[in-house]
Amino acid sequence: MTATAPETAAMSRALELALRGPRAGVNPQVGCVLLDPDGRVLAEGWHRGAGTAHAEVDALSRLADPAAAAGATAVVTLEPCNHHGRTGPCSEALIAAGVSRVLYAVPDPGVASAGGGERMRAAGLDVESGLLRDEAEEAIRPWLTALRLGRPFVTVKWASSLDGRAAAADGSSRWITGPAARDDVHRRRGEHDAIVVGTGTVLADDPALTARSGDGLLEHQPIPVVIGTTPVPVDAAVRHHPHPLRVHATHDLGAVLASLFDDGVRSVFVEGGPTLASAFLRAGLVDEVVAYLAPTLLGGPITALGDLDVSTIDEQRRLRFTSVDLVGDDVRLVARPLASDTDPSARDGRTSPATISTSSGVTAATDSTTTTKEL
């Protein structure tokens, strides 16, 4: 793959633009930058969600002079699509506009949508792929994982005391973590398509399963899903969610995920409790763990996880930290199962550095709602 400095800079910019689109939803976040033959930026675009223009078409529509696309280079984070969905194929749009070179970061894994690269090559365009591929894969990892595995990307979240308890001995767990960590959880809920709990959590906590901020409900609400055979009480708070409640009266988690995927769900946020979280981990259906560790001690029998089918140390389920941050007074740890086939950095035995702050200092900050400090 050969790319000029302006093309590499354009891909970095396209990645930034991609993240302006919604993280949840059936479509991926995609960004596009159009360059003139001298490497100057002609226009930028990004995808704003299902049913709206794709990034390439959005960028083309923003050209001051549509004729400027002739001989231009399109730098796109995902292979331009090749199918007639709710919008036309982007490969055709780029060909029709007269673009002569296309660089994309990640091949489209979609059965129906892939093949845009080949289509454009056949039309005589100079097409290359792989520029900043790891960064681009990381940015849309949940969507790529869902497409590759045919099931939603699964994040398991829990909050625990420093001694690993998810609740006090009487089952009460509100609140273990502080307001900043809880806000962080709500923001993450709003980035997922569905939020999942077991019947035990519904009965113990009566959660609303909405994504909220101090201003009320967030714009995007995940679908509430309860798994288990015990009936959800008629007056349960989750029945007042903006979306109808989905109840799966089963313990077959693979079947639940398959059913959710068929209905367009690409990411789920599993919020407990310990029994359900452990069942997802035992089944090997977890792509990411987000654990909030509070500086408090509870002791007692209710641990953050239960049985994981680990009877001896050789069977331990190792993970890799991808970030460790202080959120308010709590620590947020994000980790991935080792050798995950959904982790781009695990490909070819490579590892990417975690965003981890250690006693030796700060390595990186994450976002405006959190601070990365010395632990």
Q: Which of 28, 142, 198, 224 binds ligand NAP (CB under 6 A)?
A: 198
Which of 49, 299 has the CB closer to ligand NAP? 299
H or E element, residue 336: strand 330-337
- Does residue number 251 form part of the binding site for ligand NAP (CB under 6 A)? yes
- Does residue number 184 form part of the binding site for ligand NAP (CB under 6 A)? no
Q: Tell the smallest beta-carbon distance from residue 93 to ligand NAP (Å).
A: 45
Q: What angle do CA 132, 107, 141 make, to 5 degrees?
A: 70
Please state whether 281 falls in left (phi above 0), alpha (psi between -120 and 50) or beta.
Answer: alpha
Q: What angle do CA 287, 248, 183 make, to 5 degrees?
A: 50
Q: Which of 80, 272, 337, 344 binds ligand NAP (CB under 6 A)?
A: 272
- Does residue number 176 form part of the binding site for ligand NAP (CB under 6 A)? yes
**Cβ-contact 280, 156 below 8 angstroms:** yes
- State the chain's maximal CA–CA distance in angstroms: 70
d(CA 41, CA 80): 19
Q: Tell the smallest beta-carbon distance from residue 200 to ligand NAP (Å).
A: 2
Radius of gyration of the chain (CA): 22
- Does residue number 159 form part of the binding site for ligand NAP (CB under 6 A)? yes
Q: Tell the smallest beta-carbon distance from residue 181 to ligand NAP (Å).
A: 10
- Does residue number 104 form part of the binding site for ligand NAP (CB under 6 A)? no
Question: Which residues in the 50-89 window bind ligand NAP by CB under 6 A?
Answer: none
273 prior amide bond cis, ω within 30 = yes
- Alpha carbon of residue 178 to chain centroid: 24
Which of 59, 227 has the CB closer to ligand NAP? 227
**Cβ-contact 352, 135 below 8 angstroms:** no
- Does residue number 166 form part of the binding site for ligand NAP (CB under 6 A)? yes
- Does residue number 161 form part of the binding site for ligand NAP (CB under 6 A)? no
Q: What are phi and psi of 234, to 5 degrees?
A: -65, -25
- Does residue number 299 form part of the binding site for ligand NAP (CB under 6 A)? no
- Does residue number 42 form part of the binding site for ligand NAP (CB under 6 A)? no
| Catalytic one of 7, 56, 79, 92 | 56
One-letter amino acid at 214 equals G
Q: Tell the smallest beta-carbon distance from residue 304 to ligand NAP (Å).
A: 7
E-state strands within 210-262: 212-213, 216-217, 223-227, 246-248
- Does residue number 257 form part of the binding site for ligand NAP (CB under 6 A)? no
d(CA 288, CA 337): 7
263's CB contacts (< 8 A; 6+ apart) are none
Which of 18, 204 has the CB closer to ligand NAP? 204
d(CA 280, CA 130): 33
- Does residue number 334 form part of the binding site for ligand NAP (CB under 6 A)? no
- Does residue number 199 form part of the binding site for ligand NAP (CB under 6 A)? yes
User: Is-catalytic flag, 79?
Assistant: no
Q: Tell the smallest beta-carbon distance from residue 224 to ligand NAP (Å).
A: 13
Instruction: Provide the b/e sequence for 159-180 (b: ≥16 CB within 10 Å).
Output: bbbeebbbbbeeeebeebbbeb
Q: Tell the smallest beta-carbon distance from residue 241 to ligand NAP (Å).
A: 16
- Does residue number 253 form part of the binding site for ligand NAP (CB under 6 A)? yes
Which of 163, 374 has the CB closer to ligand NAP? 163
Tell me which residues touch ligand NAP (CB under 6 A).
158-160, 166-167, 171, 173, 176, 197-201, 204-205, 227-230, 251, 253, 271-276, 279, 302
Catalytic residues, by residue number, are: 56
